[in-house]
Amino acid sequence: MQRITITIDNDLLESVDALMQRRYYASRSEALRDMVREAASREAAGQGDAPCVGVLSYVYDHETRALAQRLIGTFHGHHDVTVVSMHVHLDHQSCLEVAVLKGKVAALRALADQITTQRGVRHASLHLVPAQLVEGAHDHGAGATPHPHIHT
């Protein structure tokens, strides 16, 4: 086992301490190890080329220098998996964004990682729903044409 040092905001440390008490951890180290294990198992569960639908939500500080432009640029770079996004002003500093995504697990995770690791982004979460791509041909008003559908 190795010993490491981390820097953590006071508010976040209070959350760790509250989790420790609620779940009866003997130490912060045990609580943090479990959190890392949980994140690692979620990461391993949804890998690769499997199709899915995802919802990425995050809160960010819009006053962080050039953050809004970097976020927009990242979404433009992943326009192939972005379906729609919604922007909400929470207060004078904080914005909530929710993006609906569809594509392969790896592509959605890559986009989420690029967004959520930006300085100024906090409270981020990616929810993935497994799906199947099914080819279909039916009329949407311009005649029957083959196109893929995502079934969950």
151 or 22: whose pLDDT is higher? 22
- In residues, how long is the chain? 152
117 or 41: whose pLDDT is higher? 117
Q: Is the pLDDT of residue 132 over 90?
A: no
pLDDT at 47: 64
Question: 113 — phi, psi (to 5°)?
Answer: -65, -40
Closest CA to 102 of 148, 58, 55: 55
Domain ranges (residues) in the chain: 1-45, 49-135+144-152
Whole-angstrom distance, CA of residue 146 vs CA of residue 1: 55
Which pair of structure tokens corresponds to residue 125? 């979460």
* Its pTM surpasses 0.75: no
Contact at 8 Å (CB) between 150 and 51? yes
Whole-angstrom distance, CA of residue 125 vs CA of residue 113: 10
The class (CATH top level) of 49-135+144-152 is: alpha beta
Span 95-107, average pLDDT: 95
Q: Which CATH architecture has domain 1-45?
A: Orthogonal Bundle (1.10)
Closest CA to 125 of 61, 54, 34: 54
pLDDT at 44: 57
What are 40-99's pLDDT values in tens digits? 756 655 667 888 899 999 999 999 999 999 999 999 999 999 999 999 999 999 999 999
Q: Is the pLDDT of residue 123 over 70?
A: yes
